[in-house]
Structure 1
Amino acid sequence: MEIMSKFTNDAKKMLELVGGRENIVSFTHCATRMRFVLADDKKADVKGIEALSCVKGSFTQGGQFQVIIGNQVSMFYDEFSEISNMDGVNKQEVKKAAKGNMNLLQRAVANLAEIFAPIIPAIIVGGLILGFRNIIGDIKLLEDGTKSITEVYQFWKGTYDFLWLIGEAIFTFLPVAVTWSVCKKMNVDQVLGIVLGITLVSPQLMSASDYVSAVEAGKAVQYWDFGAFHINMVGYQSQVIPAILVGLVFSVIYRFLKKHVPDVISMIVVPFCSLVPSVLLAHTIIGPFGRMIGDGLANIIMAGFSSSAAWLFSGIYGFLYPLLVITGLHHSMLPIDLQTAATMGGIYTFPVVALSNIAQATAVMAFVFVNRKDAQIKEVGIPSFISGYLGVTEPAMFGVNLKYLYPFIGAMIASGIMGIVSRSFGVIANSVGVGGIPAFLSMRGDKIPAYILCILADIVLAFIITVILSRTKLKDYGNK
């Protein structure tokens, strides 16, 4: 009780400051934050809450009022539950309740985020693997810059080949994970979702790139012959948007049948009559349509980053990206990024995103430097910028930068400038990876040295700009 009692007073005050028990619809916690769904957000005294000694910041996102506590949030949660005489719920129930506070766009973004949340760790691992393979296999580091490590040492050649076993599983077969996650989100049979995904990437199917090459070369393409018509045996390897659409259609059919088919025959009829039509639609209508949408979005993004004004496009993207994070719209970029990687062979946006995250972390470091005599700011700021450099920017962005404003603006300016610099160097990523300093591992091998220079310049620039802004009138607009 001695450890928990340190939160007693703050928990009592927070209950009062969020508007009391009657204003709490539900609450839970995650790794560092208390998450509230409030009946009326306006009843929460944000300034009072952020003045509590245990609170490191707060923000509202996805219909939830989130209060940053830190690593001891579970202890605070237990104390709050006891004092409020209320039971918390799991995160899924809180998300469901929070949707009542969202508009249509916010709900769509939230649903998209929930589909991709379970997949992100695998995508990050895949990005790191591709980056490591680039370093040992693509960069000429040995024998006066004429040979790569894999060309000299058999052990590393074996490592390079072996790691593709994991990389292929993550990226080539990504639609399997997507259809599974859609089915999980829609609360339908997840194993059938996996089967559905496999039908999109089966070894029987030719990849889209091989199909284009075969058509251009005038070679025959295999197809299923139904007499009156035929369907080309072309897969959707690495394709995200077709997998999402197919998963959604399957889920709608499954739920409709589950509701209307009698229980006595449900076990047989529902799986068969939902899976078979979905696979047929996937290879005739939904898949080609989804690929067209995905390729179109990828082409638009790539057109911007490949145009004569690519430097400006990249700079604007870097400057505005933090605003996408605040609104939650950054979640909608992940499927487009993955589609771009599959269609175009690389991602121009992720290098800019990582530089934005690093700038946010550096702005906190500069803020701590400016206020180095304030012990409380050190306590909040140091863990925030360390975690930010490792790719977790929420404590930095929401706990410090937005609260005091000028560090947030300093980070935006720095990431906008570095977006221009990054594109000028032609930096491109193989895949999405860790959005902090380790992001250099996700870049194409020949661009890693240039990107490391970008990271160093980003840190210096964000630090200097934030310190300069601390001496302007902007410092008076923050929430002290």
Structure 2
Amino acid sequence: MGKYEKDSKDLLAAIGGTENISAVTHCATRMRFVLNDPKKADEKQIEDIPSVKGMFTNAGQFQVIVGNDVATFYNEFAAVSGVKGVSKEAAKSAAKQNQNPVQRAITVLAEIFTPLLPAIIVGGLILGFRNILEAVPMGWLDGQTIVQASQFWDGVNSFLWLPGEAIFHFLPVGITWSIARKMGATEILGIVLGITLVSPQLLNAYAVNGTTAAEIAKDWTWNFGFFTIDKIGYQAQVIPAMLAGFLLVYLERFFRKRIPEAISMIFVPFFSLIPTILAAHLILGPIGWKIGTAISAVVNAGLTSSVSWLFGGIFGALYSPLVITGLHHTTLAIDSQLIADFGSTNLWPMICLSNIAQGAAVLAIVFAHRGNKKEEQVSIPSVISAWLGVTEPAMFGINLKYTYPFIAAMIGSGIAGLFVTLFKVRALSIGVGGLPGILAIRPQDYLIFGIGMLIAIVVPFVLTLAFRKVGLFNKIDQIEEGNEPSLDNQPTKKTGAIVELFAPITGFLQPLNKAKDPVFAEGMMGQGAVIEPSEGKLVAPFDGHISLLFPTKHAIGLVSNEGTEVLIHIGIDTVKLDGQYFTSHIKQGDAVEKGQLLMEFDIDAIKAAGYDVQTPIIVTNSTDYQVDSLIEEAPVTNAEKILVATEL
């Protein structure tokens, strides 16, 4: 009997048998299934299988975490089930059958806006800073604004219009480019299309409401003799840009299949771009404008009506669950449309408060579990991250793990959202979340929003400690007799062998919760750290031997002479490169010495192929060791110790 034969049989039965498998493949740590009926998978039964370390569903794939031995497990599973594996891309394609239309739409929306987030965040920060310079009277300046009192800051404020306003005025260019990029169309055509929606030759969208129909007919039309088209721009408009971008993609696909390759370079772009521009200004733009305006009007009405407090409370409480489902990406489009239509948004303030509330709940866990150095490696950075607007580490690393802090944060966020909605707080820009979010708020709303921030900090903090004390929503973090912290929260006694891990890669070291793959970030595979490589060389972090060399060379397993098991995973999803751009200098089973060159990889080529090179370094038998970070966040070289593993 093979090592995993029994576990393979148990897993096959638990996922519903061979007939329930549409496709199966694996990566460095996980079995990836596409199931015909995901509901047939018995997760409780799967959890009881000894070799299974966890499971989750992502993008239609049911992923079972096995660990370093996944290749062996996969082979034995294939032998037991008789199911032949498929390529990663085939599995990904098959996985779409498990996504309903809403999930697919959300996935597409997220993939469109995610590349734009850095610009949106920067733009929001700049606009927030300009708000302070030009719109906030300063008592120490006799009631003048900084711009009014200083020529220098007036110049700074004027200059910052370029990057600040431009980001949002020309947002349609980013959207059409992102759609072309995501859907495999010609990216430069997406950029050109976006420019035709915001060209200076068009009447600026912000000036449309102040221009009469007669003026538009006289000065802002293309006259084709028997019909005219209004020359109206779509600055900051989201839906018109999305509709135009999708039309461009589908037209390009249509003509690429039908025009001979010899002349496709000329005619595919021409027949794709020109009809799209015409349709954008004649049909899609006006329709998209009306749709976007209707959506923003409904949201704005809900948040300015007599029951706005109820709307604000519900949205404030439920925003965090939206982040878990991915639905929160839809709010970016709504926020952008609200700003385009009304000059400000009443949705974004509640999103900022939700970020703050999640961080406050984690802060309460830090306080309650003080002395637990291992957990603090995740919890303290999570507080900082959440208060700077990124809540995933806080939610997935701490709050959802214990449940009760997540609920406390939802309640605090709901109360804070209700409060700021009652006082009609609005933001002038988006992208700045957490505590810096106050920069995006209208200056006249600073005081009220500041009180809302205080509510979002105090209420979750107090409720988290209260829920823990009384055991409400709390199954795994009970306080023992005499109100003493549970043993799980005490510093673990260090005994046995101590293994020091040197940085295997030169680059920038970060805590594990900064990993972009949630399996690593949530500690499912064990404890460790991540490195953003600056040099494409991987060396041994200690003396030991190679326990695993994946055929695609993107992942290496090592075991130290003391028995510490370590997985080094170069990049995110780089298994799909099938070994391209990786050069191995060792083979499985080789003995290695600290600092010995194990692998070389081409960072630029991997990035050019569309993959992230962030590299997790994981102690996979963390249950046998206490893993402590020696460096929190800093540039490192191969000569520096980054982790110490102490045998328990």
Question: Normalising by structure 2, what TM-score?
Answer: 0.63
Matches within 5 A, 1:173-184: 173-184=170-181
Aligned residues of 1:406 and 1:478 also touching (Cα < 8 A): no
Aligned AA for 2:100? N
Aligned residues of 2:204 and 2:234 also touching (Cα < 8 A): yes
Aligned partners of 2:451 and 2:199: how far apart in 1? 42
What residue in structure 2 maps to residue 5 of structure 1?
none
Q: Report the 3-state secondary structure (helix = DSSP H, G, I; strand = E; otherwise coil) of the residue aligned with 2:115.
A: coil
Aligned residues of 1:28 and 1:94 also touching (Cα < 8 A): no
Pick from 432, 437, 440 the counterpart of residue 442 of structure 1: 440
Matches within 5 A, 1:391-402: 391-402=389-400
Distance 1:354 1:59, change over 3 A: farther
Q: Which runs of 5+ in 2 are unaligned?
A: 13-17, 76-86, 479-648
Distance 1:263 1:149, change over 3 A: same
Aligned AA for 1:353? I
Instruction: List per-residue Cα deviations over 1:344-402 (Å, max 9, x = no partner).
Output: 11111111011111111111111232233544433432222222122221121122212
Distance 1:271 1:173, change over 3 A: same
Pick from 11, 33, 41 the counterpart of residue 38 of structure 1: 33
Pick from 185, 188, 205 the counterpart of residue 185 of structure 2: 188
Aligned residues of 1:221 and 1:232 also touching (Cα < 8 A): no
Aligned partners of 1:184 and 1:212: how far apart in 2? 33
Aligned partners of 1:27 and 1:118: how far apart in 2? 27
Pick from 411, 414, 417 the counterpart of residue 412 of structure 2: 414
Aligned partners of 2:142 and 2:30: how far apart in 1? 53
What residue in structure 1 maps to residue 289 of structure 2?
291
2:244 is the counterpart of 1:242: no
2:167 is the counterpart of 1:170: yes
Aligned AA for 1:265? I
Aligned partners of 1:133 and 1:267: how far apart in 2? 45
Structure 1 residue 47: Cα displacement = 9.6
Identical columns (%): 46
Aligned partners of 1:223 and 1:477: how far apart in 2? 66
Aligned AA for 1:198? I
Aligned residues of 2:109 and 2:330 also touching (Cα < 8 A): yes
Pick from 359, 371, 395 the counterpart of residue 361 of structure 1: 359
Distance 1:239 1:472, change over 3 A: same
Aligned partners of 2:107 and 2:471: how far apart in 1? 36
Answer 1 or 2: higher relative contact order, Cα 8 Å, separation at least 6.
1
Distance 1:59 1:406, change over 3 A: farther
Instruction: List per-residue Cα deviations over 1:304-342 (Å, max 9, x = no partner).
Output: 111111122111110111221222111122111111111
Aligned residues of 2:344 and 2:429 also touching (Cα < 8 A): yes
Distance 1:292 1:192, change over 3 A: same
Aligned residues of 1:142 and 1:149 also touching (Cα < 8 A): no
Matches within 5 A, 1:345-360: 345-360=343-358
Distance 1:384 1:64, change over 3 A: farther
Pick from 147, 167, 180 the counterpart of residue 150 of structure 1: 147
Aligned AA for 2:225? G
Structure 1 residue 26: Cα displacement = 5.6
Instruction: List per-residue Cα deviations over 1:176-225 (Å, max 9, x = no partner).
Output: 00001111111111101100000000000002332321217867432111
The structure in which a higher percent of residues are strand is 2
Aligned residues of 1:410 and 1:465 also touching (Cα < 8 A): yes
Distance 1:85 1:365, change over 3 A: same
Matches within 5 A, 1:379-394: 379-394=377-392
Aligned residues of 2:360 and 2:409 also touching (Cα < 8 A): yes
Matches within 5 A, 1:210-221: 210-215=207-212, 220-221=218-219
Structure 1 residue 83: Cα displacement = 7.8
What residue in structure 1 maps to residue 424 of structure 2?
426
Aligned residues of 1:224 and 1:230 also touching (Cα < 8 A): yes
Q: Report the 3-state secondary structure (helix = DSSP H, G, I; strand = E; otherwise coil) of the residue aligned with 2:328.
A: helix
Q: Report the 3-state secondary structure (helix = DSSP H, G, I; strand = E; otherwise coil) of the residue aligned with 1:160.
A: helix
What residue in structure 1 maps to residue 111 of structure 2?
114
Aligned partners of 2:410 and 2:185: how far apart in 1? 42
What residue in structure 2 maps to residue 261 of structure 1?
259
**Count of aligned pairs:** 452
Aligned partners of 1:140 and 1:321: how far apart in 2? 33
What residue in structure 2 maps to residue 201 of structure 1?
198
Distance 1:432 1:46, change over 3 A: farther
Pick from 338, 341, 356 the counterpart of residue 340 of structure 1: 338
Structure 1 residue 432: Cα displacement = 1.5
Instruction: List per-residue Cα deviations over 1:10-36 (Å, max 9, x = no partner).
Output: xx9xx99x969x99946679xxxx887
Question: Normalising by structure 1, what TM-score?
Answer: 0.84
Aligned AA for 2:180? C
Pick from 127, 132, 153 the counterpart of residue 130 of structure 1: 127
Aligned AA for 2:383? F
Aligned partners of 1:213 and 1:81: how far apart in 2? 64
Distance 1:36 1:252, change over 3 A: farther
Distance 1:288 1:370, change over 3 A: same
Aligned partners of 2:11 and 2:446: how far apart in 1? 51
Q: Report the 3-state secondary structure (helix = DSSP H, G, I; strand = E; otherwise coil) of the residue aligned with 2:219.
A: coil
Q: Report the 3-state secondary structure (helix = DSSP H, G, I; strand = E; otherwise coil) of the residue aligned with 1:351.
A: helix
What residue in structure 1 maps to residue 559 of structure 2?
none
Distance 1:372 1:441, change over 3 A: same
Distance 1:268 1:356, change over 3 A: same
What residue in structure 1 maps to residue 60 of structure 2?
63
Distance 1:105 1:210, change over 3 A: same
Aligned AA for 2:131? N
What residue in structure 2 maps to residue 73 of structure 1?
none
The structure in which a higher percent of residues are helix is 1
Aligned AA for 2:457? I
Structure 1 residue 148: Cα displacement = 0.6
Aligned AA for 2:33? L
Aligned AA for 1:102? Q
Distance 1:328 1:96, change over 3 A: farther
